[in-house]
Amino acid sequence: MARKVADCRQFPSEKPCTLTIAGEEEEVLRAATEHAVSYHGDKDTPELRNEIRKTLKDEQPPKQMRQTG
């Protein structure tokens, strides 16, 4: 199962934050949005979710798994 990683260091923010969230894309998106709202004071908007989605990285797969796509 492909998991995504959101690294809060990649978000421009006045509050330094090193939080990393990993999970399935929708889970990461939800958790990262809640974190951005509750901690960073961002607004929960489609734009914010788009920004978060753009920064998602694939979790490093184990070596025996082949990357497709």
Site for Zn ion contains 52 (CB under 5 A): no
Site for Zn ion contains 19 (CB under 5 A): yes
Q: How far is the CB of 26 from Zn ion (least distance, A)?
A: 19
Site for Zn ion contains 17 (CB under 5 A): yes
Rounded Cα gap, residues 9 and 41, in angstroms: 16
Residue 20 burial by Cβ neighbours in a 10 Å radius (0-12, 13-18, 19+) = middle
Site for Zn ion contains 8 (CB under 5 A): yes
Chain positions contacting Zn ion, by CB under 5 A: 8, 17, 19
